Amino acid sequence: MFHAGRLLDAYLKLGAHCVEVDGQAGVRFCTWAPRAQRVSAVGDFNDWDGRRNPMQRLDDAGVWETTVAGIGPGTEYKFEIENADNQRLVIKTDPYARAFPARANQNAVVTAPSSYRWGDGDWLERRARWRWRDAPISIYEVHLSSWRRPEHGPATYEWLAEKLIAYAGDLRFTHLELLPIFEHPLDESLGYQVTGYYAPTSRFGLPDSFRAFVDACHRAGMGVILDWVPLHFPKDQWALAEFDGAPLYERDDPAMAEHPQWHTLIFNYGQPEVRNFLLSNALFWLREFHIDGLRVDAVSSMLFLDDARSGSFRPNPLGGRENLPAVRFLRETNAHIARTMPDVFTIAEESTSWPRVSQPVPRGGLGFSMRWNMGWVHDTLHYCGVPCAERAGAHRDLTFERLYAKSEHFVLALSHDEVGASSGSLLSQMAGDAAQRIAGLRLLFTFHATYPGKKLLFMGDEFGQTEPWDPRGELAWLALREPAHRGVLDVVRDLNALYRDLPALHAVDAGHTGFRWLAADDAAHSVIAYLRSDVEALAVVVLNFSCADYDEYVVGVPRYGAFNIVFDSDAIHYGGAGRQATMEIRSVDRPAMGCPHSVTLSLAALSGLVLVPA
């Protein structure tokens, strides 16, 4: 089954596992090295001498195994591999290692079967009945190393469970999404160059400590999503690169093995054992750590052979640029997760026009549950950076997304990719002076929370951090001493609560049935308005992207009677001017915007209102 790519619990067979040998504790070592003529387990138990514990080849396809008595958990080890073709001798860490002693340490560590006692049974029962498509999902994306740091000593999983969960819960986020926490020695890679796919990083503690972190999230009513990196791996000679003395996990074509932008090695999806390694890895985190979802990194790079290659690439057997084995791998992975764990979701970071990314495999899709809406993010941030006087010419940026919205299940991801040194913070990307940028950010978050799609916000954006995200430090928490930044934080908290509490804003999130334009073409005023609805529930959203105030702006509504303004980004307690002083508005029998009734509003510059029937 392993050689056919169908051993879905490969992590229970390969790697290092504690066993009993003739009544004595021991460890069984198993690895895959098809080009080897000799493989040995080496470690502190045999002075790293490859002659003392040779492994037996179990089959012609290269699985090797041995059992060493008298050792157990905590033992550090590697594999010494001699290539049969070129006689090259390499010493490699275990691809299936469950732990490493430290992030820069290259040795794998034998771990005992987990004895952690989970307390999230209620969460898992609710998740089994959960219909995520109709549920509010508001994600707080976090890089654990640079979120916040204790006054004394490094952050730990235990400390993060106390501080991060309380903070995100207070802001009413439904999920945490963690940048890759798989073991990686290079801090600057942010976890995207993995050397230990089966090991939670030792930066914050032991594997069971990470289990306790996830458990604490669930008991607090919060899900956990992991960034997963099945595209590439670093060229560290002690890890996956040329594992048995020649290309194995990476593409075997030298011209196509390395990613030209990141200088990493690309997985060989045409090799069944490699697909098995990755699929088994996805299931490992979902099963062993109760993870609620995987966000798959760089899907666009996986799908296309010419990614970052400037037109120089080897086409597939059909003459195209699609990476057909990668497409097969993604479909197999998503289909298996959907079939066996339907309450878990997968999210694609996919930035091209590849069709039906979040449609089921039987319908010709890639099978992802959701897809990042990169188009909405790009267009919206571009528009927010246009000076107010020029916004009429860019109005299409606010409305174009509706032309393709019905084809996918989207996440509106204001992610870490938008706030690096090259682009600046979200606040710095808003046009205007300091006060206008703050107001523009409050307006952006109103658009984000009320527009169709699940929500994702990167850490620091929730209080309008001024500087770009710097992963070498922590967030600029001192900004919260300033009322303007506290106002932004309060906006995010209240919008998350509104999004969760109003079914009209989340229950019909895909397609067109839960959304209707009221004003899509008012470029002259830089205003858009739309209706969100779910059966009888509805919400009217009016967004003024102009730097001008409009004292009597007429908006069409579908019902006669009183409407309550349940959110106003210009409210005084957020740092605004509070121009819309009346919180209850009555509609009149005057048609507008294709509706039989209308209300008249006082729209402050760079502000958003949400109205619901009283």
What would the mean pLDDT of 18-42 be, rounded to a whole number? 96
Say whether both 335 and 263 belong to one domain: yes
Which of 10-19, 63-72, 275-284, 397-406 bottoms out in mean pLDDT, i.e. has the lowest?
Answer: 397-406
Say whether both 105 and 246 belong to one domain: no
pLDDT score of 105 more than 80: yes
- Which amino acid is it at 545? F
> Which residues pair with residue 586 across a beta bridge?
562
Terminal Cα distance for the chain, rounded: 61
- Which ranges in 473-579 belong to alpha helices (H)? 483-501
Query: Could you write out the DSSP letters of every residue in 326-352?
Result: HHHHHHHHHHHHHHH-TT-EEEE---S
What would the mean pLDDT of 386-406 be, rounded to a whole number? 95
**CA distances (Å), origin 102, targets 161, 183, 434:** 21, 9, 44
**505 contacts: CB under 8 Å, gap ≥ 6:** 136, 449, 450, 498, 499, 532, 539
pLDDT score of 311 more than 80: no
Crossing angle of the two packed helices 157-170 and 207-219, in degrees rounded to 10: 20
CATH assignment of the domain containing 249: 3.20.20.80
Per-residue model confidence as pLDDT tens digits over 555-566: 999 999 999 999
Percent of the chain with pLDDT over 70: 100
Say whether both 164 and 89 belong to one domain: no
- pLDDT in the model for residue 467: 96
Residues marked as catalytic: 297, 349
Looking at 109, 129, 158, which one is the last position of a domain?
109
Say whether both 203 and 250 belong to one domain: yes
Stated as kind and residue range, the H or E segment containing 438 is: helix 434-450
Crossing angle of the two packed helices 324-340 and 272-288, in degrees rounded to 10: 30
- Which ranges in 457-543 belong to alpha helices (H)? 483-501
- Whose tokens are 């209240």? That residue is 494
Per-residue model confidence as pLDDT tens digits over 569-582: 999 999 999 998 88
Say whether both 542 and 608 belong to one domain: yes
Is residue 503 situated within a structural domain? no
**CA distances (Å), origin 613, targets 358, 451, 539, 562:** 34, 19, 8, 6
**How far, rounded to the nearest angstrom, does the alpha carbon of residue 190 sit from its chain's CA centroid?**
13
Is residue 188 situated within a structural domain? yes
Helix (H, G, I), strand (E, B) or coil at 186: coil
- pLDDT in the model for residue 547: 98
Helix (H, G, I), strand (E, B) or coil at 511: coil
Q: How far apart, in whole angstroms, are the C-alpha atoms of residue 592 and residue 505?
A: 22
Say whether both 144 and 292 belong to one domain: yes
Q: How far apart, in whole angstroms, are the C-alpha atoms of residue 294 and residue 278?
A: 13
**343 contacts: CB under 8 Å, gap ≥ 6:** 127, 128, 129, 130, 132
**CA distances (Å), origin 88, targets 34, 246, 489:** 14, 9, 57
Say whether both 60 and 182 belong to one domain: no
Say whether both 47 and 188 belong to one domain: no
Is residue 400 situated within a structural domain? no
Domain limits at 14?
10-109
What would the mean pLDDT of 533-546 be, rounded to a whole number? 95
Which of 470-474, 577-581, 586-590 bottoms out in mean pLDDT, i.e. has the lowest?
Answer: 577-581
Is residue 509 situated within a structural domain? no
Is residue 508 situated within a structural domain? no
| Confidence category of residue 548, pLDDT binned at 50, 70, 90 | very high
What would the mean pLDDT of 58-82 be, rounded to a whole number? 97
**Token pair in block for residue 595:** 């509706």
| Confidence category of residue 185, pLDDT binned at 50, 70, 90 | very high
**Is residue 135 classed exposed, middle or buried when 0-12, 13-18 and 19+ CB atoms within 10 A define those classes?**
middle
- Which amino acid is it at 41? A
Which of 76-85, 99-108, 303-312, 391-400 bottoms out in mean pLDDT, i.e. has the lowest?
Answer: 303-312
- pLDDT in the model for residue 122: 98
| Confidence category of residue 486, pLDDT binned at 50, 70, 90 | very high
> Which residues pair with residue 544 across a beta bridge?
527, 607
Question: Within 10 Å of residue 550's Cβ, how many Cβ atoms?
Answer: 18
Q: How high is the mean pLDDT of the chain?
A: 96
- Which amino acid is it at 329? F
Q: Which of 489, 406, 416, 506 is nearest to 455 (CA)?
A: 506
**198 contacts: CB under 8 Å, gap ≥ 6:** 11, 15, 95, 96, 97, 98, 182, 281, 284
Question: Within 10 Å of residue 8's Cβ, how many Cβ atoms?
Answer: 18
Query: Could you write out the DSSP letters of every residue in 445-463?
Result: HHHHHHSSSEEEEETTGGG
pLDDT score of 512 more than 80: no
Per-residue model confidence as pLDDT tens digits over 414-446: 999 999 999 999 999 999 999 999 999 999 999
Per-residue model confidence as pLDDT tens digits over 319-363: 999 999 999 999 999 999 999 999 999 999 999 999 999 999 999
Looking at 372, 406, 427, which one is the last position of a domain?
372
Looking at 59, 90, 109, which one is the last position of a domain?
109
Is residue 133 situated within a structural domain? no
Percent of the chain with pLDDT over 90: 95
- Which amino acid is it at 580? Q
| Confidence category of residue 310, pLDDT binned at 50, 70, 90 | confident
- pLDDT in the model for residue 511: 66
Per-residue model confidence as pLDDT tens digits over 409-422: 999 999 999 999 99
Number of domains in the chain: 3
Do residues 4 and 10 lie in contact, with contact meaning Cβ atoms separated by under 8 Å? no
- Which ranges in 45-180 belong to alpha helices (H)? 121-129, 144-147, 157-170
**CA distances (Å), origin 383, targets 51, 377, 379, 430, 568:** 66, 10, 6, 9, 21
Do residues 262 and 145 lie in contact, with contact meaning Cβ atoms separated by under 8 Å? no
Question: Within 10 Å of residue 255's Cβ, how many Cβ atoms?
Answer: 10
| Confidence category of residue 509, pLDDT binned at 50, 70, 90 | confident
Say whether both 98 and 151 belong to one domain: no
Say whether both 64 and 148 belong to one domain: no
**Token pair in block for residue 347:** 């999210």
CATH assignment of the domain containing 47: 2.60.40.10
Say whether both 148 and 46 belong to one domain: no
Say whether both 101 and 205 belong to one domain: no
**Token pair in block for residue 572:** 């005084």
- Which ranges in 228-341 belong to alpha helices (H)? 254-257, 272-288, 299-303, 324-340
Phi and psi, residue 254, nearest 5°: -55, -30
User: Strands, E, within 58-192: which ranges?
Assistant: 63-69, 76-83, 89-92, 108-109, 138-142, 175-178, 182-183
CATH assignment of the domain containing 581: 2.60.40.1180
- Whose tokens are 């089954």? That residue is 1
**How far, rounded to the nearest angstrom, does the alpha carbon of residue 589 sit from its chain's CA centroid?**
47
581-607 as b/e: b if 16+ CB within 10 A: eeeebebeeeebbebebbbebbbbbbb
Question: Within 10 Å of residue 429's Cβ, how many Cβ atoms?
Answer: 18
Is residue 125 situated within a structural domain? no
**CA distances (Å), origin 475, targets 52, 162, 331:** 51, 18, 38
Phi and psi, residue 472, nearest 5°: -85, -15
Is residue 76 situated within a structural domain? yes
